[in-house]
Each structure stands twice: as structure tokens, then as C-alpha cells.
Amino acid sequence: MGVIVGTICALFLLAIQSMGAPEGASGMNISENLFSQKDEALPIETTFNFPAAIPAFPQVSHEGDGFATGVIDLGGLQVTQSSAFNKVWSTLDGGLDNKGVTIFEPKNIPEGFYMLGSYSQPNNKALYGWVLVAKDVSSNTTKPTLKQPSDYTLVWNTQSLKINQEGHAYVWLPIAPNGYKSVGHVVTTTPDKPSLDKIRCVREDLTDQSEQYSLIWSNNGFFVYDVRPSNRGTQAPGVHVGTFVAQTIETATNLSISSLKNINSTRLSSMPNLQQIDAIMKLYSPLLILHPDEEFYPSSVNWFFSNGALLYTKGQESKPIRIETNGTNLPQGGNNDGEYWIDLPVDNENKDRVRKGDLKSARCYVHVKPMYGSTFTDLALWAFYPFNGAARAKFKFIKNIELGKIGEHVGDWEHVTLRVSNFNGQLWQMYFSQHSKGTWLDASQLEFKVGNKPNAYSTLHGHASYPHVGLTLQGKDGVGVKDDTEQSIFVFNLATYELISAEYLGPAVIEAPWLDFNKKWGPSIEYDLEKELDKVRSKLPGPLKSLIDKIIKILPKEVLGEEGPTGPKLKNNWSGDEV
Ligand SMILES: *[C@@H]1O[C@H](CO)[C@@H](O)[C@H](O)[C@H]1NC(C)=O
Ligand SMILES: *[C@@H]1O[C@H](CO)[C@@H](O)[C@H](O)[C@H]1NC(C)=O
Ligand SMILES: *[C@@H]1O[C@H](CO)[C@@H](O)[C@H](O)[C@H]1NC(C)=O
Ligand SMILES: *[C@@H]1O[C@H](CO)[C@@H](O)[C@H](O)[C@H]1NC(C)=O
Ligand SMILES: *[C@@H]1O[C@H](CO)[C@@H](O)[C@H](O)[C@H]1NC(C)=O
Ligand SMILES: *[C@@H]1O[C@H](CO)[C@@H](O)[C@H](O)[C@H]1NC(C)=O
């Protein structure tokens, strides 16, 4: 029934839209509109600042050694983040949102440090970037860690391009001496080669293989990409330099620009200690805004256990057992082999109660790990929901199709990740996980309502996380499963946290036994998929019945219960980069 009402409403809405005024015209006349567009400042003309001041982090060790002390020693090579820039060149054409791109080079470089490469950013977001600058502290006279290039080659120039640009850009690749590599470009506005003293190349053992990442700008067979280390993860030594690669092929396997590598055996000393982790959480812990119609709230793991969650053993389904606080009686380690699983209480009253969760008991479970050769810290912030509600779909103008029990499962682990600089303790990026994938956003693109705490929005029933309010379809061509987020007064404040894992701190962090439960946090699919599909079909008007099969084909696997609800350690990606 809901579906048919939805159809009628949707058709009505479509009719209104087609009669209505053009988008964006409400409340202002045309001349006003044009004027404001012409005068509109580009987002990049604003430098992003956090809404609130960033206090100094508690320091314990001596200067120059530890988290947020400004400089990190990669092993005879000190590096620091430079975010003061001179603008070199820009164009207003092409690129993201067709707003163009700007190229900068670091200025006010500290005494003894050298430029390693320029910085480039699309114009469609506020300026928030950095590049590393470096100083040789190796006292190795035969093989210093930094050397001038021996020459430059011109990669490309914009002279012949008919684009709206400020002067012309000449992009140079430094030619590294034998045993050295280039980690960034020089860009000039004249055809003259830059001075050899302009930039430094880095000794090979301090560089790592790199890959092209997001596209910054392209034009006429020329491509500018972010560069990042190819190998990333808690153990990977590759360091993100913040530079870009400019090339005349769309996809290069071996980039002309390398990443840096942290070869310092004590590199973990730049990671935050317990006190500093607490300071990071106080400063940046997000507010997770639940959907106003949400029926299934998060809870603490211990609330779930002590309110009747049961451990089942294969072959002994009639004899489930209660789970102790912290999961001390859960099987540890091994594979997700289906020998054990967790489920809700058996009696209907408790089942319904536990399914709903308990917001006031909810805890944010924090996993802290080194990233980019310990120059950044990732804080993966996990939330547990006892139950994941049913999925809902949209098919073009049919705005809401209830999918019965499809998508429901017990035990739902979700996360967002903060990526914080170990140079200065600033939040650089945040990751929003969505159905075993996700998206990274720069801090400058986040929504802040309370101090420097980003907002995150949890989707109705499915609990995927998004940076803004709105509808995202998991599907294509206007057909798919709905990820709905909305403003609401139901907020899970992730400042209420427990540190569950930080391998680099050794015995200072004891992992709870439930973290090593490698089986499913809910039973395998509990309903008959075909039966649920029939129910949905029976509610659809004749010609639309076949739509449901199309929707099923594009559903994310876990919605169909094919991928079980496993704990944080078995998800993408406990020890690697987010995927
Ligand atoms: C349109 O807006 C401009 C600027 O506010 C105003 O001067 C003008 O009178 C308006 N014209 C009409 C037709 O409303
Ligand atoms: C490693 O880093 C520490 C701390 O920053 C520094 O004192 C030390 O000199 C570095 N080690 C090497 C081999 O460069
Ligand atoms: C200088 O660096 C090179 C390359 O890493 C190394 O082989 C050599 O042993 C170093 N020499 C000294 C004196 O540290
Ligand atoms: C890319 O670089 C690696 C390591 O430097 C090398 O082994 C490989 O042959 C290169 N591949 C190509 C296509 O140049
Ligand atoms: C559960 O774990 C927490 C911290 O991990 C600990 O403080 C508490 O004592 C544990 N409780 C029990 C009953 O083991
Ligand atoms: C985890 O991340 C690493 C490094 O980025 C990657 O190699 C690995 O495939 C990822 N694992 C999964 C399960 O996605």
C-alpha cells in the first residue's frame, strides 16, 4: 500500500516540478542572479580554518621527537609540512565543477629546508593543503640525503591552450642525479628553465613507489593527479609528500614522481601517546546524527551482551549461552567458519527491545594506527548497532519501495576514520564508510556545528555514514537502494569512547576479548529471499512487478545477507588503508 501512495505522491511532485520556476531563481530576479554569479569568489580564494582554535597538544618527550612537534626525522632527512604558499598559476576552466585549478609553491620555508615540489588543488574547494619541505641532517658527505637536480625537462606548457588562464604555465620535471629521485615538479610562468637551486631530489633509499590518485585537472591530453605511496597501511613506510604528478598519459604505472619513505627505526615515536589520543578525541570526535525515523539505535557491546545476546554453536542450536561482560566467553581467533554466531534473545519481548539498541549506553570504539610511514595517525571510530533494519528502494519516480525483510541482519559494525597529521595534530581528512566502501573528504569539506567536531550522518536502518544530509542511491539510472540521512535530535556523540586497539602502544592498550571474536555477530540470512520478493511484487502494480528483479541485481552484496556481519577486525580494512 505504501508503495502505491508513494507512486501517486511522486507523480504529483513531478507535475509540480515541471510547472515551477527554474532552479535557483526563487527570491531573486535575473539581473541580481547574473551579478552575483559574476562576482562570486572561487572557493579556493578562501583558506580553510578550523572553526575553533587548536590548542597545543600535551607534550611529554623532548622537542623534535614525538607527536605534533612540527618536524619528523625520516632517517637523516627531516621533513615538515608547509602550508604557506605563493600562487604560481591558475586557470578558471576545466577540472572539478569546471572551476579550474591553481598551482602553488611553498613560501617561508624554514632555515635549512628545501622545496621538494609544488602543490596543486582544484579551485572548487577552500585552500587546505600542504607539501613537505626537507632538510638533510644525515652528515653523510658522500651520499647526502638531498641533492640538486642535474637538469630539468619540460613536461608540458599551456601556451597554445585557449583557456581562461593567468599567464602561461611551464611544468618541469627535475632530472635526478644517479641514486636520487624526484618527488615533485617545479612550475614557472616563463619558458626559462628554473634554477637548479630551486628544488631538491631525494636519495633513493628514502623514496618509495608511488601511484596516481585523484585527478586534480586535465586538459587536451594533459593530466594532473595527486600522488600517494602505492603501499599503504600500518606497516608501510611510504610517506605522502603532498605534491602532484603532471603527465601526458591518462594512466601511468610508473610515475615520474616518487613518494618519500620513512626508514627511521624509531619512526613510531611520532605517533600520539594515550594522553595525546585523548586530546585528539576531545578536539575532533564527530557527532553522529541518526535519522529521525531510525528504529535501530547503537548500543555498547556490553549492553548488548548483558541484555540477552546469545552465543550459538553449530550443531547445538537448541543450547545457546549468555555472553559475559567484555565477551570473555566468546571463542577467540580462528576464521569466520560458521561454527559459532551471535543472535538476539529468543523471546519476542526481549528480542524487540534489544533490536532497538540503547543510545545512552553507546560507545565509540577507537582503533589508532600509523599511516604514511607514521607521518599521520588514523583513528578508526567504530559504532555497534544490535540490528540493521530493512532496506528501502527507489525506482525512478517511485520514491519509496519497502523491501520487506530484505537487508535486515543482527549485529551491525560501522565506522568513520579521522586522519590526523603527526606534524601538527591537525585533522587532515575524514573517511565515511558506506557498505564496505567509502569516501574521504578533506577537513575543509566537512560540516562543523560544534567546535572542531565534524558532523556525520547515519543512514536510516542501514547506518552507512555520510558527511551531509541527503539521499544517495546505491544503484544506477535512478534505480537503487536508498541511503537516507536527515537532521535530527538523536545524536551519538563519539566523544564517549573506549580505546580498543593501538598495536604500536604495545601492552598499554589491552584489547577486549570481543574484538578477537572472528565469527559472525548475527546469524546468516534469516528470511526466505524469494518469499520476501514475492511479497514486494504483490504490492506493485502490474507493469512495475518486474522492476524488483532489476533492483535486486544491483543491491550491495551485504544487503542480501551474503556477506555476514563480522566484527571490526575482519572488515575492510583493519591494518591497511581505507578502501
Ligand atoms: C532586480 O534586482 C535589482 C538589484 O537588487 C533591483 O535594482 C531591480 O529593481 C530588480 N528588478 C526587478 C524587476 O525586480
Ligand atoms: C629517528 O628519529 C628520531 C626522533 O625524531 C631522531 O632523534 C633520530 O636521529 C632519527 N634516526 C635516524 C637514524 O635518523
Ligand atoms: C651514506 O649513505 C649511503 C647511502 O645510503 C650509505 O651507503 C653510506 O654507508 C652512508 N655513509 C655514511 C658515512 O653514513
Ligand atoms: C616500474 O618500476 C619497477 C621498479 O622500479 C620496475 O621493476 C618495472 O620494470 C617498471 N615498469 C615499467 C613498465 O616501467
Ligand atoms: C571490561 O573491560 C574494561 C576495559 O576494557 C575493563 O575496565 C573492565 O574491568 C572489564 N570488565 C570485566 C568484567 O572484565
Ligand atoms: C587493505 O588495505 C591494503 C593496503 O591498502 C590492501 O592491500 C588490502 O587489499 C586491503 N584489504 C582489503 C580486504 O580490502
Backbone angles phi, psi at 460, to 5 degrees: -55, 125
The Cα–Cα gap between 294 and 392 comes to 13
The Cα–Cα gap between 448 and 356 comes to 28
Non-local (6+) Cβ contacts of 416 within 8 A are 286, 288, 380, 381, 430, 431, 432, 433, 456, 465, 494
Confirm if 306 and 325 have CB atoms less than 8 A apart: yes
Of 211, 254, 257, 258, best ligand 4 pocket probe by most atoms within 8 Å of the beta carbon = 254
Q: What does the pLDDT average to over 303-319? A: 96
Cβ of 254 less than 6 Å from ligand 4: yes
Q: Which atom of ligand 1 is nearest to the CA of 35?
A: 4
Confirm if 409 and 427 have CB atoms less than 8 A apart: no
Pick the residue whose CA is nearest to atom 9 on ligand 6: 576
Confirm if 105 and 171 have CB atoms less than 8 A apart: no
**Please, which residues bridge with residue 458 across strands?**
465
The Cα–Cα gap between 579 and 576 comes to 8
3-state SS class at 82:
strand
Greater pLDDT, 466 or 64 = 466
pLDDT score recorded for residue 39: 52
Which numbered ligand comes closest to the C-alpha of 252? 4
**pLDDT value at 533 more than 50:** yes
Cβ of 32 less than 6 Å from ligand 1: yes
Confirm if 116 and 131 have CB atoms less than 8 A apart: yes
- How far does the centroid of ligand 6 lie from the alpha carbon of residue 437, in Å? 12
Of 571, 572, 578, best ligand 6 pocket probe by most atoms within 8 Å of the beta carbon = 572
pLDDT score recorded for residue 436: 80
pTM (two decimals): 0.89
**pLDDT value at 420 more than 70:** yes
The Cα–Cα gap between 534 and 538 comes to 6
Q: What does the pLDDT average to over 167-180? A: 97
Q: What does the pLDDT average to over 5-10? A: 37
At 161, list the grid cell: 591552450
Confirm if 284 and 482 have CB atoms less than 8 A apart: no
Q: Quick: pLDDT tens for 65-94.
A: 799 999 999 999 999 999 999 999 999 998
- How far does the centroid of ligand 1 lie from the alpha carbon of residue 23, in Å? 19
Cβ of 576 less than 6 Å from ligand 6: yes
Q: Which of 37-41, 190-194, 308-312 has the lowest mean pLDDT?
A: 37-41
At 515, list the grid cell: 574484538
- Which helix (DSSP H) or strand (DSSP E) does residue 533 occupy? helix 529-539
Greater pLDDT, 346 or 547 = 346
Pick the residue whose CA is nearest to atom 1 on ligand 5: 326
* Residue whose entry in the numeric block shows the C-alpha cell 610508473: 254
- How far does the centroid of ligand 1 lie from the alpha carbon of residue 35, in Å? 11
pLDDT score recorded for residue 6: 38
At 312, list the grid cell: 550459538
- Give 530's pLDDT tier (boundaries 50, 70, 90): confident
Pick the residue whose CA is nearest to atom 2 on ligand 4: 254
Pairing between β-strand 470-476 and β-strand 151-157 as defined by DSSP bridges: unpaired
The letter for the amino acid at 404 is: G
Which numbered ligand comes closest to the C-alpha of 61? 2
Cβ of 142 less than 6 Å from ligand 4: no
- The ranges assigned to domains in the chain are 69-266, 274-574
- How far does the centroid of ligand 1 lie from the alpha carbon of residue 129, in Å? 40
pLDDT score recorded for residue 9: 35
Q: Quick: pLDDT tens for 356-396.
A: 999 999 999 999 999 999 999 999 999 999 999 988 888 77
Which numbered ligand comes closest to the C-alpha of 499? 5
Confirm if 48 and 126 have CB atoms less than 8 A apart: yes
Which numbered ligand comes closest to the C-alpha of 305? 5
Which numbered ligand comes closest to the C-alpha of 209? 4
Pick the residue whose CA is nearest to atom 10 on ligand 4: 254
What percentage of the chain exceeds 90 in pLDDT? 73
- Full 3-state SS string of 488-522: CCCEEECCCEEEEECHHHHHHCCCCHHHHECCECC
Cβ of 573 less than 6 Å from ligand 6: yes
* Residue whose entry in the numeric block shows the C-alpha cell 608501510: 236
pLDDT score recorded for residue 64: 54
Pairing between β-strand 207-208 and β-strand 186-188 as defined by DSSP bridges: unpaired
Cβ of 251 less than 6 Å from ligand 4: no
**pLDDT value at 459 more than 60:** yes
- How far does the centroid of ligand 2 lie from the alpha carbon of residue 266, in Å? 7
- Cβ burial, residue 26 (10 Å; 0-12/13-18/19+): exposed
DSSP notation for 160-204 = T--S-BSS--EEEEEEPPTTEE----EEESSSSPPPGGG--EEEG
Cα torsion angle, 187, 193, 199, 203, sign: positive
Confirm if 352 and 328 have CB atoms less than 8 A apart: no
pLDDT score recorded for residue 33: 40
pLDDT score recorded for residue 17: 35
pLDDT score recorded for residue 531: 84
The Cα–Cα gap between 147 and 154 comes to 20
Pick the residue whose CA is nearest to atom 8 on ligand 6: 576
3-state SS class at 135:
strand
Which numbered ligand comes closest to the C-alpha of 30? 1
Cβ of 31 less than 6 Å from ligand 1: yes
Of 136, 138, 139, 143, best ligand 3 pocket probe by most atoms within 8 Å of the beta carbon = 143
- How far does the centroid of ligand 4 lie from the alpha carbon of residue 253, in Å? 8
Which numbered ligand comes closest to the C-alpha of 205? 3
Cβ of 329 less than 6 Å from ligand 5: no
Cβ of 570 less than 6 Å from ligand 6: no
Cα torsion angle, 315, 319, 322, 328, sign: negative
Cβ of 266 less than 6 Å from ligand 2: yes
The Cα–Cα gap between 436 and 528 comes to 24
Closest CA to 372 of 227, 179, 246: 227
The Cα–Cα gap between 393 and 400 comes to 6
- How far does the centroid of ligand 5 lie from the alpha carbon of residue 513, in Å? 10
- How far does the centroid of ligand 3 lie from the alpha carbon of residue 513, in Å? 46
At 459, list the grid cell: 543512514
- Give the mean pLDDT of the chain: 89
The answer to whether the bond into 573 is cis (omega within 30° of 0) is yes
Closest CA to 91 of 250, 277, 218: 218
**pLDDT value at 565 more than 90:** no
Q: What does the pLDDT average to over 290-305? A: 98
Confirm if 230 and 210 have CB atoms less than 8 A apart: yes
Measured between its terminal Cα atoms, the distance across the chain in Å is: 39
Buried b (16+ CB within 10 A) or exposed e, 355-389: bebbeebbbbbbbbbbbbbbbbbbbbbbbbbbbbb
**pLDDT value at 451 more than 70:** yes
The Cα–Cα gap between 531 and 525 comes to 13
pLDDT score recorded for residue 5: 37
At 423, list the grid cell: 606534524
Cβ of 165 less than 6 Å from ligand 5: no
Cβ of 512 less than 6 Å from ligand 5: yes
The Cα–Cα gap between 93 and 101 comes to 8
Pick the residue whose CA is nearest to atom 6 on ligand 3: 143
DSSP notation for 255-302 = -SSPEEE---TTGGGGS--HHHHHHHHHHH--EEEPPTT-------HH
Confirm if 417 and 441 have CB atoms less than 8 A apart: no
Q: Which atom of ligand 5 is nearest to the CA of 500?
A: 5
**pLDDT value at 190 more than 50:** yes
Which numbered ligand comes closest to the C-alpha of 497? 5
